[in-house]
Amino acid sequence: MMTNDKIHYEIERKWLIAYPDLKKLESMKGATVSAIDQTYLKSNGEFETRRVRRRKTGPGEKFYQTTKRRVSGVRAEEDEQEISKEEYDQLMKEKDPSLQLIRKTRIAFPYDGNTVEIDLYPFWKKQAVMEIELPDEDAPARYPDFIHVIREVSDDFSYKNVSLAREIPAE
What Å distances lie between residue 165 and 11, 97, 101, CA to CA?
21, 10, 6
Q: Is the CB of residue 63 less than 8 Å from the CB of residue 50?
A: no
Is the pLDDT at 31 greater than 70, yes or no? yes
Q: Is the CB of residue 22 less than 8 Å from the CB of residue 107?
A: yes
CA atoms within 13 A on the CB side of 119: 20
Spatial distance between the Cα atoms of 10 and 118, rounded to a whole number of angstroms: 17
Is the pLDDT at 135 greater than 70, yes or no? yes
Is the pLDDT at 43 greater than 90, yes or no? no
Q: Is the CB of residue 76 less than 8 Å from the CB of residue 157?
A: no
- Does residue 50 lie in a domain region? yes
- Does residue 149 lie in a domain region? yes
- Does residue 169 lie in a domain region? no
- Does residue 3 lie in a domain region? no
The alpha carbon torsion through 25, 29, 35, 40 (nearest 10 deg) reads: -90
Residues 88-126 have pLDDT tens digits of 999 999 999 999 999 999 999 999 999 999 999 999 999
- Does residue 2 lie in a domain region? no
Spatial distance between the Cα atoms of 39 and 53, rounded to a whole number of angstroms: 6
What Å distances lie between residue 58 and 34, 35, 116, CA to CA?
7, 9, 19
Angle, CA 137 vertex, CA 79 and CA 102 arms, to 5°: 45
Rg, C-alpha atoms of the chain: 16
pLDDT-based confidence at 1, cuts 50/70/90? Answer: very low
Mean pLDDT of 126-155: 94
What integer pLDDT is reported at residue 7 of this predicted model? 57
- Does residue 144 lie in a domain region? yes
What integer pLDDT is reported at residue 6 of this predicted model? 56
What is the share, in percent, of the chain residues with pLDDT greater than 90?
A: 75
Per the model's pLDDT, the better-predicted residue between 25 and 5 turns out to be: 25
Q: Which range marks the domain in which residue 153 is found?
A: 10-164
What integer pLDDT is reported at residue 101 of this predicted model? 97
What integer pLDDT is reported at residue 4 of this predicted model? 46
pLDDT-based confidence at 2, cuts 50/70/90? Answer: very low
- Does residue 170 lie in a domain region? no
- Does residue 125 lie in a domain region? yes
Spatial distance between the Cα atoms of 85 and 137, rounded to a whole number of angstroms: 35
Task: Report the CATH number that the domain containing residue 15 is assigned in CATH.
Answer: 2.40.320.10
Number of folded domains that form the chain: 1
Mean pLDDT of 69-78: 81
Alpha helix stretches (DSSP H) within the chain = 22-26, 85-91, 161-164
What integer pLDDT is reported at residue 18 of this predicted model? 98
Mean pLDDT of 72-96: 92
- Cα 149 to the chain's mean position, in Å? 17
Q: For the ranges 11-25, 61-75, 79-93, 131-145, which has the lowest average pLDDT?
A: 61-75
